[in-house]
Structures are given as C-alpha cells and as structure tokens.
C-alpha cells in the first residue's frame, strides 16, 4: 500500500487505518500534554501511568465529538447553511461533553489518588477536556477539508488534461476539407486530360495523407517529417494550377529536432484557406522556415495586387483562434504568433521552441528537399 493510497483511498481497510493513525496521534499528543499536570501536582513516580490514565478518560468524548461533527453536524447543518441548527447542536454536544467529562475526570482523580480536589476544580478540568475534544474534532474536520481540496484540485487537473488532450486530438485530426476535395478534383481533372503531372500529384497526395492519418498520432514528431509534409502541400498547391508564385525556403539545422504534429502544416494550410476567396488578387506567397539552435521561425508573406478588396479585419478572429490552438501545444509561453498587415501584404509569423527529445519511436525521414523554390520538374 502506497502512502498516497493510504491517505486518499476509499477502501474500508484503508479508511480504518487512517482513522486509527489519527487517534493514535491524538493519544500520543494527549499523553505528552498530560505529563506533569500542575493542577494535581503529578510529578512523582506514577507520572506515566497518570498521563495514560488521563488520556483514556478524555478520549471517549473526543471520539464522540469528532464523529458527530464530521458525519452529522457538518454535512446535515453547516454544509446546508443551517447555522442556527448547527450552533444548537454544538451547544448540546458541549453540554453532554461537560456531563460526561465530569464523571470521567472524577474517575481519573479517584484512581490517581487525588481525593483532595473539590467539585469546582473537577468542573474546571472537565471544561478543559471538552475544549481539548473540540480541538481534536476541529483538526479532524480540517484534515477532511484539506483532503477534499486536494482531491478536487487533482480532479480539476485531470479534467483539464483530458480537455487539453481532446483538443489536441481534434486539432491533430483536423484536415482542411476544401484542400482535400479540391486536390481530388484536380487529380481527377489531370488524369482525364492525360497530364504528366497527375502521377506526381497522386504520389505527393498519398504521402501527405499517410503523414496526416498514420504518422502524426504521437505527442511529438520528427521535424523533418513535418517539413516533408509542408513540402508536399506546396507541391500539390502548385500542381493544382495555382496562378500565384509560391516560394519555400528552409534554412538552419533541422535534424534531430521534434515538434507537435501538423503544427506548421496546419498553420500554413489555414492561412491559405483564409485568403482562398481572394486568390485572384494574390500575386505571390513566400514561406521561410528557419531554425537557429532550438528556435523555429515560420514566416509566411502574402503579396496582394494593388487596389485589392481584401478584408483584413476579419482575419483578427483567425489570429485569436490560432493563438488559442497554439497555447494547447505550447502552454508555457514559449510560442509567439503574430498576424499583421503591411500595405498590400499580409505577414504571418510563428516562433517556438523545438524539442531535443532523442527517444522518438520512429526513425526520421532523411529525404528532405532543401531548395529555395519547389518545382516538381
């Protein structure tokens, strides 16, 4: 049995051991505090015996008060904000405790040989015993509160992790339907026309789908695979008859680095999708992916024609949703995303820290094209 299970398990045997440990602690503290009681002058030979006897005499009401508070007064009255009934119950319980402790205290003094004490002194001792029981009950209730708060916090963390995990899975599973349907239509059209580019499109499309569906289900993927997927996406976009020029430049060391799956691909794909309605006004697209040490910078620059009617204001919602999605993968403020307009240009910038994890389950793909412009020639 682990210590955590001992503290928080609801199993009957574990609960019994917790309660037993609590009362053993109360008995030890009570026995120590009972040594050398100045009221009775117990500094003689039987000091240990009298301390144990004192503890035994005050223990019954400690147990009664604690369990009445934990399992009756608190859940039935205080928790339901029935304060008057709770206070009345406490007063009745204290009255019963004074009566019970008066008799147990009298028994204690009789056995210990302190026959010279008056009834007033016994009542004073009984009163102190009642407050000791109240302290034990308050401690038990406090421990229960701390336990409940800890379990609630732990449950909230589990729910938050489950929510984050679900959002990550949804984001990973997200594929732009317009891109998929458009690519399939273009492949069909190229095949019917007998175009020589159709085999290249089919190959690149199958490789991209393979990555999206089967190779991106880990928390981290090889950065090289992510670059390959971006490369396939650019080639497919160019072969699909894009009228604008698309440049892709990669610089820096990309080997032995890892990234959240489809992060670059999704952001590039999303910005393409956002300006889909203005592609006739789009002159060219420049994509630059650079790596310096562990820092990755993605820059996407879209140049529109003069006098275009592009509504850049509606991209603000796209910026906010992208920032929220990125915070799921990189919650520790190690990711910067910006989207801004400069005259007829739209610039998207993403900066994040790549992982150096070296126990990735699969061997990274080494066949990466590193040219300034991707031409499927």
Number of domains the chain is built from: 2
User: pLDDT grade, residue 365 (50/70/90)?
Assistant: very low
Q: Is the pLDDT of residue 201 over 80?
A: yes
pTM for this prediction: 0.52
* Each residue's pLDDT tens digit, 164-194: 667 666 655 555 666 777 778 888 888 888 8
Q: Are residues 164 and 228 in the same domain?
A: no
Q: Is the pLDDT of residue 322 over 50?
A: yes
Q: Are residues 188 and 92 in the same domain?
A: no
Would you say residue 42 lies in a domain?
Answer: yes
SS3 258: strand
Per the listing, tokens 């206070």 go with 87
d(CA 125, CA 109): 10
Beta-carbon count within 10 A of 83 CB:
10
Spatial neighbors of 320 by CB under 8 A, at least 6 apart, are none
- pLDDT at res. 105: 82
Measuring CA to CA, which residue among 261, 259, 266, 268 is closest to residue 215?
A: 261
For the chain, percent of residues with pLDDT exceeding 90:
5
Residue 150 CA, chain-centre distance (Å), reads 14
> Of residues 307 and 342, which shows the higher confidence score?
342
Would you say residue 370 lies in a domain?
Answer: no
Would you say residue 118 lies in a domain?
Answer: yes
Q: Are residues 304 and 323 in the same domain?
A: yes
Q: Are residues 226 and 94 in the same domain?
A: no
Would you say residue 367 lies in a domain?
Answer: no
Would you say residue 200 lies in a domain?
Answer: yes
Q: Are residues 59 and 181 in the same domain?
A: no
> Of residues 56 and 41, which shows the higher confidence score?
56
Spatial neighbors of 283 by CB under 8 A, at least 6 apart, are 244, 245, 303, 304, 305
Q: Are residues 249 and 160 in the same domain?
A: no
* Each residue's pLDDT tens digit, 43-58: 555 677 777 888 888 8
- pLDDT at res. 331: 62
- pLDDT at res. 373: 36
Q: Which residues pair with 297 in a beta bridge?
A: 290, 351
DSSP label at 306? Answer: T
Q: Are residues 154 and 255 in the same domain?
A: no
Q: Is the pLDDT of residue 222 over 80?
A: yes
Decide which of 169, 198, 233 is a domain's last residue. 169
Alpha helical stretches, state H, 73-222: 83-112, 119-173, 177-193, 198-214
Q: What is the CATH number of the domain that holds 216?
A: 3.30.565.10
User: Token pair of 163, please?
Assistant: 């929510």
Q: Are residues 105 and 203 in the same domain?
A: no
d(CA 136, CA 140): 6
SS3 333: coil
d(CA 32, CA 22): 16
Would you say residue 234 lies in a domain?
Answer: yes
Domain around 215: 174-353
Decide which of 121, 150, 169 is a domain's last residue. 169
User: pLDDT grade, residue 84 (50/70/90)?
Assistant: very high
Would you say residue 358 lies in a domain?
Answer: no
d(CA 113, CA 217): 78
Q: Are residues 111 and 202 in the same domain?
A: no
> Of residues 341 and 117, which shows the higher confidence score?
341
Would you say residue 10 lies in a domain?
Answer: yes
* Each residue's pLDDT tens digit, 210-221: 887 777 777 788
Beta-carbon count within 10 A of 224 CB:
19
Q: Are residues 221 and 147 in the same domain?
A: no
Decide which of 102, 136, 169 is a domain's last residue. 169
Q: Is the pLDDT of residue 120 over 70?
A: yes
Q: Are residues 55 and 103 in the same domain?
A: yes
Q: Are residues 196 and 129 in the same domain?
A: no
Angle between helices 177-193 and 263-274 (to 10 degrees): 80
User: Token pair of 333, please?
Assistant: 């403020």
- pLDDT at res. 362: 40
């Amino acid at each position: 049995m682990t210590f955590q299970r001992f503290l928080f398990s609801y199993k009957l045997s574990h609960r019994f051991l917790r309660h037993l440990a609590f009362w053993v602690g109360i008995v030890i503290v009570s026995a120590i505090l009972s040594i050398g009681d100045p009221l009775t002058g117990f500094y003689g030979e039987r000091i240990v015996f009298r301390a144990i006897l004192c503890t035994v005499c005050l223990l019954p009401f400690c147990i009664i008060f604690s369990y009445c508070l934990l399992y009756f007064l608190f859940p039935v009255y205080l928790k339901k904000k029935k304060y008057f009934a709770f206070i009345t119950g406490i007063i009745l319980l204290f009255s019963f405790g004074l009566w019970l402790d008066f008799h147990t205290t009298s028994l204690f003094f009789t056995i210990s040989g302190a026959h010279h004490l008056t009834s007033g002194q016994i009542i004073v001792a009984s009163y102190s015993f009642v407050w000791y029981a109240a302290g034990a009950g308050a401690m038990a209730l406090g421990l229960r509160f701390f336990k409940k708060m800890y379990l609630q916090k732990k449950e909230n963390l589990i729910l938050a992790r489950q929510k984050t995990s679900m959002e990550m899975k949804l984001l990973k599973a997200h594929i732009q339907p317009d891109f998929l349907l458009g690519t399939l239509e273009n492949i069909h059209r190229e095949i019917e026309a007998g175009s020589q580019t159709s085999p290249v499109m089919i190959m690149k499309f199958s490789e991209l789908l393979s990555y999206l569906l089967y190779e991106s289900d880990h928390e981290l993927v090889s950065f090289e695979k992510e670059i390959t997927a971006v490369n396939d996406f650019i080639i497919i976009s160019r072969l699909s008859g894009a009228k604008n020029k698309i440049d892709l430049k990669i610089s820096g060391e990309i080997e032995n680095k890892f990234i959240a799956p489809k992060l670059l691909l999704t952001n590039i794909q999303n910005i393409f999708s956002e300006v889909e309605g203005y592609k006739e006004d789009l002159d060219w697209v420049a994509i630059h992916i650079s790596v310096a040490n562990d820092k990755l910078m993605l820059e996407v620059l879209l140049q529109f024609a003069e006098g275009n009617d592009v509504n850049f204001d509606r991209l603000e919602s796209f910026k906010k949703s992208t920032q929220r999605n990125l915070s799921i993968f990189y919650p520790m403020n190690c990711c910067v995303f910006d989207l801004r307009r400069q005259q007829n240009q739209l610039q998207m910038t993403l900066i994040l820290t790549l992982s150096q994890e070296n126990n990735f389950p699969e061997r990274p793909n080494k066949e990466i094209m590193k040219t300034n412009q991707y031409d499927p020639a």
